[in-house]
Structure 1
Amino acid sequence: MMAGKGLPQDCGLLVVGHGTADRVGEAETRTLVGHISDACPGGAVELGFLEVIGPSVGESLRRLCARGVDRVVAAPLLLFTNGHARRDLPEALAAAVAEERIPVVQAAALGHHPELVRLSRRRREETRRVLPPLDPREEALVFVGRGASDPAAATQLITFLEATRACGADCRPGEPAAICGRGLCPATCAALPIPPGPGRGGVGFVAAARPTVEEALEEIVDPSRPGLVPRRVLVQPHLLFRGRVEEQVREAVDRARSRHPAIEWIVVPRLGAEPDVARAVVARALETLEKVEG
């Protein structure tokens, strides 16, 4: 028997958040889990955190067991596969399973799920819509990730950015879909260029990877680079919720604004607790169950 839109009635969904001391970020996480529950009517859904705040993964697994489920799929609220997905979450699940002795499988990170790709692109377009018109060649984009020591961090972020431009919905009127990307800053990753387009573009990271946000913001306005020096720079943090990482991005943008006051610096809103994200989380969980069940 299946509950609602596909979650088996005997299977609980353990949604795992990183954990944050930011009250707004915590509230956003809980709001998202509400959307996930709405997407699984009749299903057993619980939220657990890896660190900082509770309930813990173990506590939430116990709650699911108390609700009578026979197995659990753990769905991480992680944008990409990183140390949390490869190490921290499996360790937390292993410790919890040792106590509860219930089958638990871990779903993949959200990655390049189409729901997130469309939402990210929409955030950019919503931002542009309220700004004065500008020659596309004079607008630049810096896409910002949290960062990780994993060498794949840059590749994952760049690939996601490429995906947001793949179908043409991010194009300006009259731009061919195939060339709506902007060439990456040289420091970003020469092996993975975004197709050249009308304005400059690049990626940056808040921690543990290069280029840093500061480096990316300086390079994007470097007059020695090919193309027009931008009159406007969109800085888009690829983040789910508010927290210290987003604060660091905004602080870096404020410093860039003080160094280059003639340029318009705009921060694009984070992804947030949208139903789009909830649908992606549920989809990842169901994909995992399908693989397990063959």
Structure 2
Amino acid sequence: MKALMLCGHGSRDQGAVTEFAGLAEKLKSRLPDWKTDYGYLEFAKPIIRDGLDRLRAEGAHEIMALPGMLFAAGHAKNDIPSVLNTYAAENDVQIRYGRELGIDPKMLRAAGERIKECLRADGWQEGEPLHDTMLVVVGRGASDPDANSNVSKVMRMLWEGLGFGWGETCYSGVTFPLVGPGLSHAARLGYKRIVVFPYFLFTGILVRRIYDQTDAVAAEHPGIRFLKAPYLGAHEMVVETFVERLNEILEGTNVMNCQLCKYREQVLGFEAEVGLAQESHHHHVEGIGSAADCALCDTTCTGACRVSKVPGHDHVGHDHGHSDGHHHHHDGDHHGHAHDHNHSHSRGGHDHAHDHGHSHGKGHSHGHDHHHHPYPHADHPLGPRSMR
């Protein structure tokens, strides 16, 4: 049987979880000959292992897996492949892993249509020049400069493709500039209309924070019209991009671009991260802290758990400071994986076309303090702490 597993990050926000499940349903409809399931790394259920269990129970011995990620940073490069590798080794199943959505003409078309929806609501008509309008694209932000640079490329493609007067990029967290300083900078460039577009797949607390920050900056600049474009969602072109990524696995062409990967190359400012271990820090928090478990919020996450330190919402005592330089402190087993980035790596019948080819060493040290390499610009004045 043909089996496909869609792997998401997960969210405490029920709206984001519902939208991701809706995307999985669209993929099922688009691929009627495939058994399709889904799961999350953290903050939501079902977890990835649950989806894989269901596919295996239906008779799947070979499973294609896709990361539900826009760009390849730590989750797509490390966490998801680690979960899949572990599952494959424990359950005698072959899993073939595809690449992230990436920069793709179909994704750009989807983004362009979301931006046009926003402009039409403001009275713009197709064909009218946008020389008096500025575009600001907001990315998630990561401790991987290659992923961050991809957001800038998306912004440039949209800026040039739609003919905006000017374009800028900012980020919701981890890196810089954040949305507040980014929009404050944009407001000084003289444009009377600024479109703010979150380059996100789904809703959630970060998207709402982007819109809230837009409102805050707009209040300080009443002479400028700030328009809030909708995020990508399960646009048909997004679904088609996932289908293309699946076909790449089948054709053997799903090779990640490693030219600027900080784990493989001596990228400026990140030289110390070449060869870092590939492992997931999510294995002991899978499914913990989901919207269904939270007593502080209803279905819309407000981030109150970050302030209240509710048990089950703080990675079980781990310091998971994505917004504070991407530092993670864990107590557990250390897997000394050599990081050789061979993208045709196979392990135990588990052929990952781009799982960095980390060779899984047996010299595991136990009871260690495990943390991701600190983000080198954590003290930058324009970031990288997430918006308050």
TM-score (norm 2): 0.62
Is 1:157–2:142 an aligned residue pair?
no
- Aligned residue for 1:241, secondary structure, equals coil
Q: Name the residue aligned to 2:207.
A: 246
Say whether the 8 Å CA contact 1:11–1:70 is kept in structure 2.
no
Q: Name the residue aligned to 2:73.
A: 82
Taking the aligned partners of 2:132 and 2:154, their CA distance within structure 1 comes to 23
How do 1:17-96 and structure 2 match up within 5 A?
A: 17-96=8-87
Say whether the 8 Å CA contact 1:112–1:163 is kept in structure 2.
no
- Aligned residue for 2:36, secondary structure, equals strand
- Letter of the 2:185 counterpart: E
Say whether the 8 Å CA contact 1:58–1:95 is kept in structure 2.
no
Say whether the 8 Å CA contact 1:137–1:230 is kept in structure 2.
no
Is 1:278–2:278 an aligned residue pair?
no
Give the number of equivalent residue pairs: 252
Taking the aligned partners of 2:6 and 2:39, their CA distance within structure 1 comes to 6
How far residue 152 of structure 1 moved from its aligned partner, in angstroms, is 1.2
Taking the aligned partners of 1:217 and 1:65, their CA distance within structure 2 comes to 48
Q: Deviations over 1:203-255 (max 9, x none)?
A: 00011111111121011121xx5xxx111110000001000110110121011
How do 1:140-219 and structure 2 match up within 5 A?
A: 140-164=134-158, 168=161, 170=162, 180=163, 199-219=165-185
Taking the aligned partners of 2:156 and 2:167, their CA distance within structure 1 comes to 11
- Letter of the 2:57 counterpart: A
- Aligned residue for 1:211, secondary structure, equals coil
Q: Deviations over 1:18-75 (max 9, x none)?
A: 1012111111111111110011112110011111111111111111111112211111
Taking the aligned partners of 2:148 and 2:18, their CA distance within structure 1 comes to 29
What is the root-mean-square deviation in Å for CA atoms of aligned residues? Answer: 1.9
- Letter of the 2:17 counterpart: E
Taking the aligned partners of 1:236 and 1:15, their CA distance within structure 2 comes to 25
How far residue 85 of structure 1 moved from its aligned partner, in angstroms, is 0.6
Q: Name the residue aligned to 2:375.
A: none
Name whichever of 157-166 and 60-69 sits farther off.
157-166
Q: Name the residue aligned to 1:196.
A: none
- Aligned residue for 2:150, secondary structure, equals helix
Say whether the 8 Å CA contact 2:159–2:167 is kept in structure 1.
no
The unaligned stretches of length 5 or more in structure 2 are 254-350, 354-388
Taking the aligned partners of 2:95 and 2:89, their CA distance within structure 1 comes to 11
Taking the aligned partners of 2:87 and 2:149, their CA distance within structure 1 comes to 32
Q: Name the residue aligned to 2:221.
A: 260
Is 1:110–2:101 an aligned residue pair?
yes
- Letter of the 1:37 counterpart: K
How far residue 99 of structure 1 moved from its aligned partner, in angstroms, is 2.3
Taking the aligned partners of 1:143 and 1:260, their CA distance within structure 2 comes to 19
1:135/1:75 CA distance change after superposition, 3 Å:
closer
Taking the aligned partners of 2:6 and 2:129, their CA distance within structure 1 comes to 43
How far residue 103 of structure 1 moved from its aligned partner, in angstroms, is 0.8
Taking the aligned partners of 2:129 and 2:68, their CA distance within structure 1 comes to 37
Say whether the 8 Å CA contact 2:39–2:48 is kept in structure 1.
yes
The unaligned stretches of length 5 or more in structure 1 are 1-9, 171-179, 183-198
How far residue 106 of structure 1 moved from its aligned partner, in angstroms, is 1.2
- Aligned residue for 1:200, secondary structure, equals strand
- Aligned residue for 2:213, secondary structure, equals helix
Is 1:16–2:7 an aligned residue pair?
yes
Q: Name the residue aligned to 1:173.
A: none
Q: Name the residue aligned to 2:132.
A: 138
How far residue 165 of structure 1 moved from its aligned partner, in angstroms, is 5.2
Taking the aligned partners of 1:135 and 1:58, their CA distance within structure 2 comes to 50
How far residue 153 of structure 1 moved from its aligned partner, in angstroms, is 2.6
